[in-house]
Amino acid sequence: MPWFGVHDDKSAVMAVVPYDGSVGVEWIANYNDYQEVAQQKHERTTLPRILALTPAWQFPETKPGTEISCFLLPGADHVGMAKRYRRIAIDNGTHVALRDKAKANPDVEKLRGAIYTGIYGGYPHYVNMPGMAFTFEELDKIVQNMHEHQNVPRALIHAWGTFENYAPVPWPISEELGGAVTLKRVVRRAKSYGWLFSAYHSFVSLLDHDPRFNADLAPRNSQGRPSLGSRWKAVDESRWADLAKQVLPKEIEAIGQNADITDIAFTGRVGDGGRRLAEYLASTGLVLGTERGNEWLVPKYHMFEGMVAPYRDRPLVRYSHPAPLFNLVYHDAIVNFGKIQDPTQLALNLSGDYYVKTLRAMLYGDGPMVFFAPYEYEGVKPYLRFAAEFLCPLHESIGFEEMTGHAYLSEDALVQRTRFANGAEILVNLGPTPWASSLDGELPGYGFRAKRADGSTLAGRFRHSAKIDTRDWDF
């Protein structure tokens, strides 16, 4: 979102910059190795530890008349700033409520309380990757088991590895894995449960290990040669929509999926070609999702993967506390899930372990997510059961609601609370230390308390534990 600000205990000031690609935001800090001036002089810094955000105008992209709008907000904090921007987003049409989207496409309602279930068969890294690829019969059994034995009420199945070819033209459906008829049976089963189904799609990648690698799809440099950038986003943007049109209509006719998740295309700066791709995908009538997402997609899209992950590999986390700023603006306009490369059940980076990631998702009102390769399915069943029993009903109750408030309650900022428009309230302790207050009572380490809209409450906690199976030595 193109705004930033600062507040103290009396007021806030925020700046909204143009959303036209002409402005970037940089930060200035004195922190550990970021002692720029002193470091150049080979001296110890004497500066206080400070941080400032400043806009950086990108010439010549800046347009005549480009300006920053500043807002002075007495009594406001980060929530007040987010709510001021929410008014701007509603006024300019960027904010479109999920309830309105569900009226236009009833399948959108299936996102409420759904587990985002990525089933990784190796694609796009390798087609039919040994040890990773699933047959469509195996995929069908997993989907059936999730419903009948793990009691999953709703799910968005994202199947990676259903095509014979690599991106950006992932067609035809793999005969070796079972063919379109068998995959259609999987889709039909998922839909019979009230679930959503999408295969993995990318219309922007050129993978150098693809035996059909086509450099002609890359943009050309001034000498007319292919200009190959990052493998994940190397296709000429003007070709994206046409490539999608080659694949999706045939796939929809063959298997009848009701969702589309398109990878990586809309991250960062996107031009006219990316917008044409988004317009085409919106015309399909599918429930739409994408990696990370982008604010301009909110009116047409229904879910983002990894959008609200400010705690993951973001430098600003070194200076401040993560806050659900995006959800304070857009929680009732887009359903957010975690990053599929950082599944909830694994601890891969700064985002924390399973307890912390799950508590944070509860706090932020994000949907539950479990991502696995087929050989891992037995190990992730407990996570699916916990999500089905508690996280799905929780998200079903708040998934389409406005997030009305967020607060840090403890000195270390690990105890936090969010509130939602229907009266629901989520209180979590992201650390191991018990906490208590005269107003909110006690909350154990890694504990949570959820109050539903009807006033009923549910409380619990995560515990670190280990089980010793055998011991044949003495201390």
In the chain, where the domains are located: 3-81, 98-400, 405-461
Q: What is the pLDDT of residue 312?
A: 47
* pLDDT attached to residue 408: 96
Could you give the C-alpha distances from 27 to 30, 58, 400, in angstroms and in order?
A: 10, 15, 34
Give the bridge partners for 103, in sequence order: none
As given in the structure block, the two tokens for residue 447 are 């504990």
Query: pLDDT tens across 371-422, in order?
Result: 999 999 999 999 999 999 999 999 999 999 999 999 999 999 999 999 999 9
Can you give the pLDDT at residue 23?
73
**Residues 413-457: pLDDT tens digits?**
999 999 999 999 999 999 999 999 998 899 999 999 999 888 889
Q: Which residues contact 65 (CB under 8 A, 6 or more apart)?
A: none
- Range list of H helices, 27-125: 36-40, 78-91, 98-104
CA atoms within 13 A on the CB side of 175: 1
**Residue listed under structure tokens 């694609």:** 123
The residues, ordered by sequence, that sit 6+ positions from 286 with a Cβ below 8 Å of its Cβ are: 107, 198, 252, 257, 258, 259, 260
Residue 32 CB neighbour total at 10 angstroms: 8
Q: Do 268 and 74 meet the contact criterion of CB atoms below 8 Å apart?
A: no
Tens digit of pLDDT at every position of the chain (475 positions):
889 888 999 999 999 987 766 677 777 665 554 455 566 677 766 666 666 777 777 776 677 777 889 999 999 999 999 999 999 999 999 999 999 999 999 999 999 999 999 999 987 778 888 889 999 999 999 999 999 999 999 999 999 999 999 999 989 999 999 999 999 999 999 999 999 999 999 999 999 899 999 999 999 999 999 998 888 899 999 999 999 999 999 999 999 999 999 988 998 778 899 999 999 999 999 999 998 888 999 999 999 998 754 444 555 656 678 899 999 999 999 999 988 777 666 655 556 688 888 999 999 999 999 999 999 999 999 999 999 999 999 999 999 999 999 999 999 999 999 999 999 999 999 999 999 999 889 999 999 999 988 888 999 999 887 888 887 776 6
User: Domain 98-400 class?
Assistant: alpha beta
